[in-house]
Amino acid sequence: SVSNRSLVEALEAKVLSLQQQLLCNVEKIDPVPDAMLATEFRQLAKAIKGLSRQIQFNDSDSLIRIDAIRQSLLVGRVKQEDLKSAVRMRPIVEAFVWSVLYGRLFCSPFYMFESIDLANDFLVLFGEDHQHQWPSPTTSSEQWRLISMEQLLHQVGEEVITTGIVQEKCPQLEANIQRVRSKVKDNIEGYLVRVSPGTNFSRVDDIVDKAFSLALHIFLQRCRIQVVYPEVGDAYEGEQPHLDSIAESIEVEKGSVALIASPGLAKWGDGEGKHLDQRLDLVPAMV
């Protein structure tokens, strides 16, 4: 339609303007080494696993009786017979926590700012034909994403994102960030407390801090970095760059993915934002 074409043309003009700004600022960006991002991801995964070990189950169905857990992104993909296995209760807790983090934070660079408009602009401009309905990584898409992130970060600073401490630089945007952080915490704690009311959920604050810090760091890189996960039913043939087994499946050498306890971290391109067609798995998904 005419209105859609006008919208796209306006957004394309915005892309050109932002790319020109990026050329002036590109030297300010220091790429974070892959090993540091992988370590940060693993520290978050470790914190989530620690929370899962604190949960006390009354029975093996206590988790899956809660619709929000059973239907969450990663848990909802699991077959019913696999959900009922008591040995998988703790991995299901992990999968639920990761589902909340992905849906509220990692599925778009702009969700941490509660900027749905920017998230939609990203897709309208560059499409949804990459993994998990992201745009395919191109020089244009990654420059647009990066300069947009930098502009938002410039308004608020890192601390409000990584710790929730308000700096009073941009009250509305800071309030948005605090609201997203609160929603993540409330979603995780609010449902798990129904399963294990006696648990101390102070670990959730640390999980939120670690998740927002990781999201900020991966979305400020010139290359594309995404939290990724396989599909239930995908082939598993022992340890692979993008897949590894959880303790409950350690003896399985070949088979298919039945449960994703933890997603992985994948990178397209290099520190300079080149070679965006090349994928490197920094951390495998745990299945």
Q: What is the pLDDT of residues 255-279, one digit of tens each?
A: 888 899 999 999 999 999 999 999 9
* Structural domain contains residue 249: no
Residue matched to tokens 């640390």: 206
- The alpha carbons of the chain give a radius of gyration, in whole angstroms, of 20
* Structural domain contains residue 280: no
* Structural domain contains residue 259: no
Q: What is the pLDDT of residues 204-215, one digit of tens each?
A: 999 999 999 999
Give CA separation, 48 vs 83, 171, 178, 204, 208, in Å. Answer: 19, 31, 21, 8, 10
Give the residue with greater pLDDT, 287 vs 228.
Answer: 228
* Structural domain contains residue 271: no
* Structural domain contains residue 6: yes
Judge contact between 282 and 114, C-beta under 8 A. no
- Whole domain around residue 211: which residue ranges? 2-232
- Residue 191 has a pLDDT of 96
- Residue 150 has a pLDDT of 95
Amino acid symbol at 122: F
* Angle subtended at Cα 77 by Cα 69 and Cα 207, rounded to the nearest 5 degrees: 45
Q: Is 27's pLDDT higher than 50?
A: no
Sheet containing 224-228, strands listed edge to edge, beginning at the edge strand earlier in sequence? 224-228, 264-268, 279-283
Is the pTM higher than 0.85? The answer reads yes
Q: Which residues share a beta bridge with 236?
A: 255
Residues contacting residue 255 through CB under 8 Å, at least 6 positions apart: 235, 236
Q: What is the pLDDT of residues 135-179, one digit of tens each?
A: 999 999 999 999 999 999 999 999 999 999 998 889 999 999 999
* Domain count of the fold of the chain: 1
Q: Is 240's pLDDT higher than 50?
A: yes
* Structural domain contains residue 241: no
Query: Residues 27-40: what's their mean pLDDT?
Result: 84
What is the per-residue DSSP string for 190-245? Answer: HHHHHH-TT---THHHHHHHHHHHHHHHHHTSSSEEEEE---TT-EE-SSBTTEE-
For all residues of the chain together, what is the average pLDDT? 89
The alpha carbon of residue 262 and the mean position of all alpha carbons in its chain are separated, in whole angstroms, by 11
Residue matched to tokens 């350690």: 250
* Structural domain contains residue 283: no
* Structural domain contains residue 282: no
Judge contact between 146 and 19, C-beta under 8 A. no
Q: What is the pLDDT of residues 52-78, one digit of tens each?
A: 999 998 876 888 889 999 999 999 988
Q: Any idea how long the chain is?
A: 287
CA–CA separation, 165 and 160 (whole Å): 5
